[in-house]
Amino acid sequence: MGDSDRLWMDSYGFVYSGDGKRLLKGANVEGAYWIPEGVEEIEEGALIGCRIGTLHIPWTAHVHEYDQLVFSEDSEENEELMPAVYFWTKEYANLDEETWAFEEEGEYRIDEHGVGYSLNGHRLLFVRAKFTDNEYHVPDGVVTICSMAFGLPTLPEN
């Protein structure tokens, strides 16, 4: 058996090809799961039946659209199982914890509480990792609050 034939499983139960370039089978994750950088493909059916809170897809993966992710063969159930998904266009190491810059640089503004908004103020996009307010008043003019705006995982402090 060659190295390319071997499989490896991470601590969450996700199974990858021996070379680490293909995600072969996912697992259930309550919080966030970051597919490792270097993964290029998500095998068809790899995520069927998986329940994941938030899924981060690295810039190395050839997956850039929601319709490329299948969590169920039934379209209605697929929509229900679809987690919050972030398609990264740069390395995870470039994450700016102060701004959670998953949008293009300069396309958002941050208020004094660490809450990020679209430039026009109509969309509440995210909160910074260190947001700890028990209560927050959304200003007038906000039309949309993104589904995981207050539910993003906190990265470990370095």
Give the number of domains in the chain: 2
Q: In terms of domains, do 18 and 84 share one? A: yes
Residue 94 has pLDDT above 80, yes or no: no
Q: In terms of domains, do 13 and 90 share one? A: yes
Asked if residue 157 is part of any domain, the answer here is: no
Q: In terms of domains, do 87 and 106 share one? A: no
Q: In terms of domains, do 22 and 44 share one? A: yes
- Residues 31, 152: Cα–Cα separation, whole Å: 9
Task: State the pLDDT confidence band at 40, using cuts at 50, 70 and 90.
Answer: very high
Q: In terms of domains, do 24 and 78 share one? A: yes
The arrangement of strands across the sheet holding 84-87 comes to 29-34, 52-57, 84-87
Residue 100 has pLDDT above 60, yes or no: no
Q: In terms of domains, do 89 and 106 share one? A: no
| Among 101, 91, 28, 96, residue whose Cα is nearest residue 61 | 91
* pLDDT one-digit tens code per residue, 102-133: 444 456 777 888 888 877 788 887 777 677 78
Asked if residue 158 is part of any domain, the answer here is: no
Q: In terms of domains, do 32 and 86 share one? A: yes
Please tell me the predicted confidence (pLDDT) of residue 43: 95
What domain range is 111 assigned to?
Answer: 96-151
Which comes out higher in pLDDT, residue 50 or 143? 50
Q: In terms of domains, do 84 and 17 share one? A: yes
Q: In terms of domains, do 117 and 83 share one? A: no
Are residues 125 and 149 in contact, defined by beta-carbon separation less than 8 angstroms?
yes
Torsion sign across C-alpha atoms 9, 13, 17, 22 = negative
